[in-house]
Amino acid sequence: MKTTITLQVNGDVYELSVEPNQTLLDVLREELALTGTKKGCDSGACGACTVIVDGEPVLSCMTLAVRCQSKEITTIEGLARNGELHPLQKSAIEHDAVQCGFCTAGWLLSAKVLLENNPAPTRAEVRTAIAGNICRCTGYKRIEDAILAAAGKNTGWRKKM
């Protein structure tokens, strides 16, 4: 039986009719067409589907949409404001921290939560925060550099012109 729920996604309020067995990930991708959030392993191990729910990093593939009634959800589409990229996104581009891009949405949101709670993290803290986000391309070094640079730390990295 379908249930009506209200979701606040990236500041917009949506009233949706969902089946209780639909995951938040499926609702975001299929009902709201917010396909920036990726479906990776679909079993909670890869972190590609990470979104922010009420300030916490959450695996949307493991969350039932009916449980998100009235919760504030941020997806990758909500990171840029008024056409201006989020500092983390800018830093990711500057540091070439993106290759295939499948994990990017997930780790950017994990990093956003980290920096909100800890504005000046150490490299070890960055590693712990993104440990749940598997990247098979970059080897993590550039992702870590990008996050540290966004937190205002000098990572000694210079872009070759």
**Residues contributing to the site for another protein (CB under 8 A):** 1, 3, 19-23, 42-45, 47, 50, 56-59, 61-64, 66-67, 110, 113-114, 128-133
Nearer Cβ to another protein (12/116): 116
C-alpha distance from residue 4 to each of 51, 61, 63, 68, 73 (Å) = 21, 20, 16, 11, 17
How far is residue 75's CA from residue 60's CA, in Å, rounded to a whole number?
A: 10
Q: What is the DSSP letter of 68?
A: G
Nearest-approach distance from CB 152 to another protein, in angstroms: 21
Nearest-approach distance from CB 69 to another protein, in angstroms: 9
Nearer Cβ to another protein (81/141): 141
Nearer Cβ to another protein (1/13): 1
Nearest-approach distance from CB 67 to another protein, in angstroms: 6
How far is residue 157's CA from residue 161's CA, in Å, rounded to a whole number?
A: 13
Q: Token pair of 155, please?
A: 């990572």
